[in-house]
Structure 1
């Protein structure tokens, strides 16, 4: 009986509002009761561990079930969705390069990133992608290799299209069960975020961020510009109507939760539920949303571009226009392979730096800087990536309805 008012309040209050309350509570704990933060931080560690555990299974089951239940002849509108993903990522990389050249940042290269092995050439990145695709499916699930997970899910989904109705129904039931489990985990987000924020502020405060304020401003400014200007422009060109109601809905319902969970894969149920509320084509969004969580990486393209050019500016390397354009393409392609890996976009910075002749030792110091500012950089990057998944999926579906 004592918990009844609390349960009713939880049911009435939106998850976003609860997350904001958890954020404020975490800051307050760190400031007022710093000695209590280790206990509270445990909640944050549990929350992140649960997300990491369930997210690979979620992508695998959802994609496999969606493809296996697709009926021949049914329209999915996947081609325009993929086109929007590609255009959006390339546009984001272009914004990152342009902003970096207009507002160059200088880094203090003192930190080292330990235990990381970056790719050394574009061919190596492509080889890693191929190896990821053909990796053992069980190993892919254990190591959160989302490229491999996606490849096996698509292959099995296509094969299971010829299975019995009972088998396909069981797969759909399994997908719904896994979705329900991750929704339970996400309902714990306010407590988890309270622990994460409390631990972050207690250990480092804001001192670690002030030293890189200019770099953070360029990074976050680019992501906001893409979210509020570039993406709406793309949507307007496709739909020929005011894009901002849809843009703000996606940012509010998808971007906010992704900002705090810092996982596009874990945010898939939120995006699927939003697509359902928007009355989109289920045959389209059931495939496009899990796929977008793996390959639609506008935020990663910005991170790779901005940090690479910051390294070039710090070392006095002149970047001409052809090289800048090449960087846009490289950042866009590499961003697709950065998903599902902690600091994945950061580990591709040495590859982009190699375009300017910057050595691996210096480039890895830039990766270290990226990890320092990752609290805000990674959260904002994920929010942009995840909200754009829904935005472009909705745009493709609505464009088909208008035609």
Structure 2
């Protein structure tokens, strides 16, 4: 099992959960649901710490880099992330209502299985308080050039990353098994899987469309053939599918970017920076999946709710951990506080997101090459 990747483990967890829930083995279903409840509370506890641990040092490290390139790259990356989220909202609200039918809540309530017991693990602060704290710490460390505090925050980041890698990620398949056992017990699985397939296709299609849009814009500004530029970035795209990490793909992304005639110093600066702050593919996925999960329960999200969520995603996912599913871990708090997600909905979001995480990462790093092209052009003007 240790040699299996996260996605195969999640699939196994989903299958086991469905089998247990469908066969109505009540004590096993309740046992899994009990674990999911405790694990969900632990996730709620860790999210504020994750935000502080990754956003604060990320902002501090950005603050230590000065110059025109930083402002250009960060501004374009953030704008790209926000535009991706807006396009995802428009696509989801246009297409998903035609392919998703709301679940029957009364049937689910009639067959609900309850946990044996619950353990409350309240977070030490709210998500917004954690985000404000992270900003104060990050900007403060950059302003005073506090090496001691920066090293402390970097080590705190390493602790949180170890928690994610050694506790959350290994136990996540069991958590997902509990969620699907509850759904199978309530008779909701068939509809949920139908939605999963449709949402997956929509997400991948929008990833590809947005990559093309990015390179059409970059090509028009730099006089580079956009499709040739995309072809040169394909090694980075497929490497990211395998690694599921923008950070791990940096060497290949840098080399592919240089093949598009981007200056060495621009490629070597813009690509590593964008690996931590440009998450257009992840934002597309999170936005579409959030609307889909809400639609399953007959709820809708308006632009007034989703747009602030998109704006905050662009900030909260700064320096998201370089592990599979890092972006969704960083976004859990926003989903809960800004969009009102329940523990079950958060678990569905994690399953949906991680199922296509490699494609989201591939869209992120391919877009980094387009940003490097634009920055290379603007830096020379």
The TM-score normalised by the length of structure 1 is 0.56
Q: Say yes or no: does 1:258 pair with 2:264.
A: no
CA contact (8 A) 2:278 2:364 kept: yes
Q: Say yes or no: does 1:245 pair with 2:224.
A: no
Q: How far, CA to CA, are the matches of 1:314 and 1:209 in structure 2? A: 11
Deviates more, 1:296-305 or 1:335-344: 335-344
Q: How far, CA to CA, are the matches of 2:345 and 2:332 in structure 1? A: 7
Q: Match of 2:94?
A: 102
Q: Match of 1:235?
A: 218
Gaps of 5+ in 2: 7-56, 116-120, 142-149, 163-189
| 2:317 counterpart SS class | helix
Q: Say yes or no: does 1:325 pair with 2:307.
A: yes
How do 1:342-353 residues align onto structure 2 when only pairs under 5 Å count? 342-347=324-329, 348-353=331-336
- How far 1:126 sits from its partner (Å)? 4.0
- Identify which of 89, 95, 106 aligns with 2:81: 89
CA contact (8 A) 2:305 2:338 kept: yes
Q: How far, CA to CA, are the matches of 1:274 and 1:142 in structure 2? A: 33
CA contact (8 A) 1:264 1:386 kept: yes
CA contact (8 A) 1:311 1:366 kept: yes
Q: How far, CA to CA, are the matches of 1:282 and 1:369 in structure 2? A: 39
How do 1:29-178 residues align onto structure 2 when only pairs under 5 Å count? 42=3, 77-104=69-96, 105=100, 121-128=127-134, 134=150, 135-141=152-158, 143-144=160-161
CA contact (8 A) 2:73 2:274 kept: no
- How far 1:94 sits from its partner (Å)? 0.9
| 1:100 counterpart SS class | helix
Q: How far, CA to CA, are the matches of 1:381 and 1:295 in structure 2? A: 14
Q: How far, CA to CA, are the matches of 2:285 and 2:122 in structure 1? A: 18
Q: How far, CA to CA, are the matches of 1:246 and 1:225 in structure 2? A: 15
Gaps of 5+ in 1: 1-37, 46-59, 146-206
Q: Match of 1:388?
A: 367
Q: Match of 2:316?
A: 334
Q: How far, CA to CA, are the matches of 1:93 and 1:136 in structure 2? A: 30
Quickly say closer, same or farther: Cα 1:107–1:395, change in 2 above 3 A.
Answer: farther
Q: Match of 2:206?
A: 222
| 1:340 counterpart SS class | coil
- How far 1:310 sits from its partner (Å)? 1.7
- Identify which of 271, 278, 286 aligns with 1:304: 286
- How far 1:322 sits from its partner (Å)? 2.3
- How many residue pairs get aligned? The number is 274
- How far 1:297 sits from its partner (Å)? 0.8
CA contact (8 A) 1:311 1:353 kept: no
The TM-score normalised by the length of structure 2 is 0.59
- How far 1:89 sits from its partner (Å)? 0.6
